[in-house]
Structure 1
């Protein structure tokens, strides 16, 4: 018999196969943001303008990796560099209007996919699942010290 934690590990492994479940529902090819872009844009939206150093701290990623990602997003017109609104020396990144639009479209696609996947779930089940996911994520964030800003 396996422990409950073994069962969670298995389901977490299987869940990892479905990382891009936003494809559920026949989205047009090429209309979605890459996963890393979606996450980075979501963080800047949630926290406000961020420097490369702040992004590195938030994600635990190397500065060179973030330089490549932000350069691609800036080149695509989704992010822009601005002076630090708080008067600091480092320039920061914020979403452009196009970045906000694309992020909103991507989030809406994720919600539509989740609505499809959980169509036969009760509202109480969906809320319970969200509570467990939040609890799981905040436990991880408490261990690694990189909390996600939540409303």
Structure 2
């Protein structure tokens, strides 16, 4: 019976692994270049959220109202950056500041009806774009790709110590 490999022991690099990692680096660079999926200018008729608002609203939708401190912990960003981003979101009417529902001192940001509407519109737009890109892929390939992306993101989150909530 073969002994299973101990993943805690550093294994020698497999032939081609460095080349594959080089390809992953190159392809993720290209993927970030295609960030137009999240760009407001790409949406017909405008009104799209900027990337930071899209990500923050998604997190607030998943976790419920969050304070600047909670957002700092969740994203690893400094409070001044988050203050600027959330102030712009308040001005845009996509979040509102509310007293902490749990009675804490810090005020929290809650997504508004307008924020829900715009977030859902952007998600639908993004999903439509992905469906056009993946339309010729077999369903099992799309599922495997989603599984690999989730695994990749979870490993990044594990290394950063900031797991993202999932449904």
Same fold (TM over 0.5): yes
**1:88-142 C-alpha deviation (Å, 9 max, x unpaired):** 1111001001100000000000100000110101111111111000000000000
Structure 1 residues 59 and 22: CA distance shift in structure 2, 3 A: closer
Corresponding residue of 1:8: 24
Secondary structure at the aligned position of 1:31 is classed as: coil
Q: Answer with 1 or 2: which has the greater Rg.
A: 2
Cα distance, 1:22 vs. partner? Answer: 4.8
Q: Does 1:144 align with 2:160?
A: yes
CA distance in 1, matches of 2:63, 2:109: 11
Q: Detail structure 1 runs of 4+ shifted over 4 Å in the superposition.
A: none
Secondary structure at the aligned position of 1:50 is classed as: coil
Secondary structure at the aligned position of 1:3 is classed as: helix
Q: Does 1:103 align with 2:133?
A: no
Corresponding residue of 2:5: none
Output aligned runs, 1:117-128, within 5 Å. 117-128=133-144
Corresponding residue of 2:13: none
Cα distance, 1:29 vs. partner? Answer: 4.7
CA contact (8 A) 2:38 2:51 kept: no
Q: Which runs of 5+ in 1 are unaligned?
A: none
One of 45, 56, 69 as aligned partner of 1:40: 56
One of 12, 18, 21 as aligned partner of 2:37: 21
TM, length-normalised to structure 1: 0.93
Q: Does 1:115 align with 2:131?
A: yes
RMSD, aligned α-carbons: 1.4
Secondary structure at the aligned position of 1:81 is classed as: strand
TM, length-normalised to structure 2: 0.85
Kindly tell me the number of residue pairs found equivalent between the two proteins: 149
